[in-house]
């Protein structure tokens, strides 16, 4: 068996439908991570229409191995979040197959980046106040969360939510939308409640019709969650934001455009990249174990150069 054949066998199937270069590259990187770091077999394709097929960026039985997570606290945060949810009433969706088995999904990514912070609030405070200076103390880190005071009348929820106290003991909320390779929802959702919150909040400078366009609809609905909670006095200060890969030009372009549609947009809506997060963490006085975690985050989600050698060997033989 040639080197190319051996590598293809280890990496597993890639998706012929990947037209987006970022998705294609990250699928390969996660396939490399599965094969060469986790030493796991390729798993089932996550798309229902591909049932019965395998794909290199998935594993099987991840709910037992927990291989999709980078730390014990990431595992603990994921399991506690699932156990604490009331599936009949909680907003937001956690698809367990994506969470445990899909290496390309942003759902396990949220727990890998923020699970450690959930159980180390002083560290969360030191890190997040670099992005949100009004933070005095982080009080909780939550996943797939929307406060009861939010009146959107839909299933919108923040992928990551941070509750904090600010100056004069004010209570604050930060809600982040997390993207890895997934596109923003192409659907244009609209409800009477959206318009009511839009008018009451006075947070937007762009016309309502612009805000609900498919390019911005997901970010708009997430912003409405925090604005609604502010209007209903659940919190005294609120922010929203986008957490994404530093080379995801689609997400960054849309995030910057949405930021410009808000009053004090750069303060009200932060864009934090994985690189920003890791660099900011590494400036802190971390333990060796915490530094190992930051290196794993970098290797898993940012360091495509680690899989370049395998990719180049395949490309060389294909020429």
C-alpha dihedral, 319 to 8 to 111 to 267, nearest 10°: 10
User: Is 142 a residue whose pLDDT tops 90?
Assistant: yes
User: Is 15 a residue whose pLDDT tops 90?
Assistant: no
Q: Average pLDDT in the 177-201 region? A: 91
* Per-residue confidence band for 16, with pLDDT thresholds at 50, 70 and 90: confident
Mean pLDDT value across the chain = 92
pLDDT per position as a tens digit, 117-135: 999 999 999 999 999 999 9
pLDDT per position as a tens digit, 25-59: 999 999 999 999 999 999 998 888 788 889 999 99
pLDDT per position as a tens digit, 86-114: 653 455 578 899 999 999 999 999 999 99
Q: What is the pTM of this model?
A: 0.94
User: Is 152 a residue whose pLDDT tops 90?
Assistant: no
């Amino acid at each position: 068996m040639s080197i190319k054949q051996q590598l293809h066998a280890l990496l597993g199937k890639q998706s012929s439908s990947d037209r987006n270069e970022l998705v294609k590259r990250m699928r390969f990187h996660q396939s490399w991570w599965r094969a060469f770091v986790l030493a796991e077999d390729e798993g089932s394709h996550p798309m229902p229409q591909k049932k019965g097929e395998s794909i290199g960026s998935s594993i099987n039985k991840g709910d037992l191995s927990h291989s999709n997570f980078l730390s014990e606290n990431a595992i603990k945060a994921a399991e506690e979040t699932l156990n604490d949810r009331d599936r009949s009433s909680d907003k937001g969706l956690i698809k367990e197959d994506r969470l445990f088995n899909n290496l390309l999904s942003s759902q396990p990514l949220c727990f890998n980046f923020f699970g450690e912070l959930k159980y180390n609030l002083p560290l969360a405070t030191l890190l997040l106040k670099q992005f949100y200076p009004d933070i005095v103390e982080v009080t909780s880190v939550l996943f797939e969360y929307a406060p009861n005071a939010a009146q959107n009348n839909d299933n919108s929820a923040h992928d990551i939510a941070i509750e904090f106290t600010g100056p004069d003991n004010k209570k604050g909320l930060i809600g982040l939308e997390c993207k890895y390779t997934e596109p923003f929802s192409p659907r244009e959702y609209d409800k009477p409640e959206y318009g009511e919150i839009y008018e009451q909040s006075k947070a937007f400078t762009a016309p309502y019709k612009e805000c609900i366009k498919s390019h911005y609809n997901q970010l708009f609905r997430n912003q409405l969650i925090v604005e609604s909670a502010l209007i209903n006095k659940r919190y005294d200060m609120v922010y929203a934001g986008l957490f994404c890969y530093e080379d995801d030009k689609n997400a960054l372009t849309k995030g910057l455009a949405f930021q410009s549609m808000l009053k004090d947009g750069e303060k009200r809506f932060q864009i934090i990249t994985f690189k920003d997060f890791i660099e900011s963490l590494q400036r802190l006085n971390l333990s060796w174990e915490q530094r190992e975690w930051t290196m794993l985050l970098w290797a898993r989600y940012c360091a495509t150069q680690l899989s370049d050698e395998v990719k180049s060997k395949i490309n060389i033989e294909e020429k």
